[in-house]
Structure 1
């Protein structure tokens, strides 16, 4: 056999082997990644969280890491932070909602964690030292029922009957901005 034929045959063989190994390794990596992301299944233990007050909101959701309890608050408005554990702006904003909850007893301030897996959401609140009661929406039913955009974070305000007064799909980085936005949503509905 001529040297050129042997050389090209060897080159094709080596390239074919390299491609085979590449695709086998890629398939293995994909399987490993799937296994890692599926390890935080909903059955994972949740960090203990505050109880969630029952609300007149249009969607019934399970409480994230605790039970729902009757709402004994005299709050006239419910302020909801729609958030997710993987959302970086949410990490900045959640402590602001905790502050709003503490400084405004006239508001029932709650969160709705919008992700398929509950455990990372409960853990994030614990890590941030945020005591905001939060519900868990693993199917996106809350946002869908209200016709909200498919983004997080979103701030939504409801009256005491559960009627949505308005929302802002905006990340807040300053407490005064959040407080003003909530007041504006309430005033705009009056």
Structure 2
């Protein structure tokens, strides 16, 4: 095959490929993927989780959903307050949530608010119920709170909000294993 024939074949192949790429298609759009499990009744999950009431809305707060009752609220970054970002798929989060719940039951404990991210509300409620964690919890589906405090992507991430409004990431320890560690971190 000579060079002229090779070029002719190449041009012909590219032309056919272009026509195929631009040819209109009458296919119906693909349906969205079906969930791996049926959607659960969120109201029933809320009742099962028995979460304590969320903190009252605060001026200048970040708009989140209270997991306990589904209402929208503005979570104010006014302390003292401990904010814990978690997700249902995060194994260290699952170990840390009961520790935070245990700490919060102690007299004089700083209020603790777990913030569900990167997960569905129903899955978060189901996990909290299974763990027996009753902390007032919120859902930050739009990641607004996480953006406001500049929280890192790795979870869990826990922040102490001081009385003066200062926000500090707690890194020692990175995951709480005992209520005494929480108490030490908020001093």
Q: Provide the C-alpha distance between the structure 2 equivalents of 1:100 and 1:171, rounded to a whole number of angstroms.
A: 14
Q: How many angstroms apart in 2 are the aligned matches of 1:86 and 1:164?
A: 26
- For the aligned residues, what is the CA RMSD? 3.2
CA distance in 2, matches of 1:36, 1:149: 28
Residue in 2 that maps onto 1:82: 85
Cα deviation code 1:33-82 (max 9, x no counterpart): x41347448x744323321012547412110132579x9xxx95101111
Unmatched segments (≥5 aa) in structure 2: 1-30
Q: Which residue of 1 aligns with 2:116?
A: 113
Identify, as 1 or 2, the structure richer in helix: 1
SS of 1:125's equivalent in the other structure is helix
Change (3 A) 1:87 1:40: farther
Q: 2:154 matched to which residue of 1?
A: 151
> Which residue of structure 1 aligns with residue 98 of structure 2?
95
For normalisation by structure 1, the TM-score amounts to 0.65
Contact 1:116 1:139 (8 Å CA) reproduced: no
Match of 1:176 among 174, 177, 180: 180
Any idea what the Cα deviations from partners look like across 1:124-183, whole Å, max 9, x if unmatched?
111111111100011222111111111211111112454314433822223322322222
The CA deviation at 1:114 is 0.8
Across the two proteins, how many residue pairs are aligned to each other? 148
State the alpha-carbon separation in 1 of the partners of residues 161 and 150 from structure 2: 14
CA contact (8 A) 1:40 1:117 kept: no
**Given the two structures, how large is their TM-score scaled by the length of structure 2?**
0.66
Equivalence for 1:164: 167
List structure 1 segments (4+ residues) > 6 angstroms apart after TM superposition.
Answer: none
Structure 2 counterpart SS, 1:65 = coil
